[in-house]
A and B are shown apart, each in its own frame.
Chain A
Amino acid sequence: MVNIIWLILLLSGIIVAGLNGNIEVVTESAFKAAQTGVQISLEIIGIMTLWLGLLKLAEKSGLVGLLSKLVRPIAVLLFPSIPKDSPALGSIIMNLSANILGLGNAATPFGLKAMSQLQELNPHKTVASDAMITFLALNTSCITLIPAMVISLRVQEGSANPVEIVGTTILATACGTVCAVSADIILRKKYRSRF
């Protein structure tokens, strides 16, 4: 899908330029964009370096564990089908906490662990269980507290207030999460009858 979109953007751009009789803009904008890409990657190194150093500290100090204590009561509510003492619940909580802190590399192993533990509780091995779908709804909709990459881009482009989008991002994310969880609860019953 990404391949198709990329191809359409590039080819339709070239065709339109050709039809409009200004084919030279293709060469010019392509070369300029390639240089901009390199420039952006290089200039975000500063903030990404600072941020990844900080995240390593969060990881090594076990901040994920601290956050997971706050997430637990919500998780118990959202996963009624998982026994409270199940290790699956622990893995889910660790995955979500790591995601919230922006620890992508630490989150994935917890996430895959959670999936295999949920699979043990799943009666139909090729069909997604309720808990799995709720977990992935949370995983894909509730993410990172601090969008470090976006902030670096804004700094690099000379924003007067690069962090001003932190509040709007958190609020928009919260809306998405609430909608995802509500949709899951409604659709769950409808899809149950199908298998």
Chain B
Amino acid sequence: MYVLTQISRWAIPVLLFIIPFYAYLKKVNVYEVFVEGAQEGITTAFKILPFLVGMLVAISVFRASGAMDYLIRFLAPATNFLGIPGEILPLAVMRPLSGSGALGITAELIHQFGPDSFIGRLASTMQGSTDTTFYVLTVYFGSVGIIKYRHAITVGLIADVSSFIASVIICRLYFGG
């Protein structure tokens, strides 16, 4: 617990120190290069805008209509047994399929429940802890003409499911609730 807290506290300050300092040692024009990279911040934000709007609209309608409540009640026996909040399931399904789609769902969960709620913290942890498995496999195998994936998809999904379960357990232990 203590270690996790210290990692969270120190991660950003340490990187803010090390990266510019290392760049300076390597004779990089630190400020100019920083600004050059920083310009991409605006394009990144605008690039994700349509994805966020699309996914937020769909999931908000799904939630506001009461359909989400039906789904959560329907899955309650399973989710209660596993100790998983039902609200998080759409994110778990979307995460391996689409990075921007999952980001939209995470944004909605944080917005809806608050960043410091259990669901907000769990969604934050889940969003950061796995990658878009299907996208990566398709692009990488496709680039060299591999048709038979063998156990690659199984391994990728095992990674996703285990990070998901680990996120739930770790957040429960660490944040409580």
Interface residues of A (CB under 8 A from B): 1-2, 5-6, 9-10, 12-17, 20, 22, 25-26, 28-30, 32-34, 36-38, 40-42, 44-46, 48-63, 66, 111-112, 115-116, 118-119, 125-128, 132-133, 136-137, 139-141, 143-147, 149-150, 153-154, 157-173, 175-177, 179-180, 183-184, 187-188, 190-191, 194-195
Contacts and interface: CB of A to CB of B under 8 A. Distances in A.
Given A13-B67, A33-B60, A141-B131, A6 B101 contact: yes
B140 interface: yes
Contacts of A2: 94, 97-98, 101
Q: Is the interface of A mostly helix, strand, loop or mixed?
A: helix
28 contacts: A1-B97, A6-B58, A9-B61, A14-B65, A29-B64, A37-B52, A38-B49, A46-B41, A57-B19, A63-B22, A118-B144, A119-B144, A119-B145, A119-B146, A126-B148, A128-B150, A128-B152, A145-B15, A150-B124, A165-B125, A165-B128, A168-B175, A175-B162, A175-B166, A176-B160, A177-B159, A179-B162, A184-B151
B19 A171 contact: no
A183 B28 CA distance: 42
Q: Is the interface of B mostly helix, strand, loop or mixed?
A: helix
B56 A33 contact: yes
B5 interface: yes
Nearest to B36: A56
Given A1-B97, A15-B67, 7 more contacts: A9-B61, A20-B66, A25-B65, A140-B132, A140-B159, A157-B111, A191-B151
A9 B62 contact: yes
B48 A16 contact: no
A5 B94 contact: yes
Contact of A127 (B9, B129, B150): B150
Interface in B145-175: 145-152, 154-156, 158-160, 162-163, 166-167, 170-171, 174-175
B85 interface: no
Contact of B155 (A41, A56, A184): A184
Interface in B11-35: 11-12, 15-16, 19-20, 22-23, 25-26, 28, 30, 33-35
Interface of B: 3-9, 11-12, 15-16, 19-20, 22-23, 25-26, 28, 30, 33-42, 44-46, 48-49, 52-67, 70, 90, 93-94, 97-98, 101, 103-104, 106-108, 110-111, 114-116, 120-121, 124-134, 136-137, 140-141, 143-152, 154-156, 158-160, 162-163, 166-167, 170-171, 174-175
A51 B107 CA distance: 19
A59 B37 CA distance: 10
Given A161-B116, A175-B166, A28 B159 contact: no
A14 to B, nearest CB: 6
A61 B23 contact: yes
A157 B166 CA distance: 25
B115 A183 contact: no
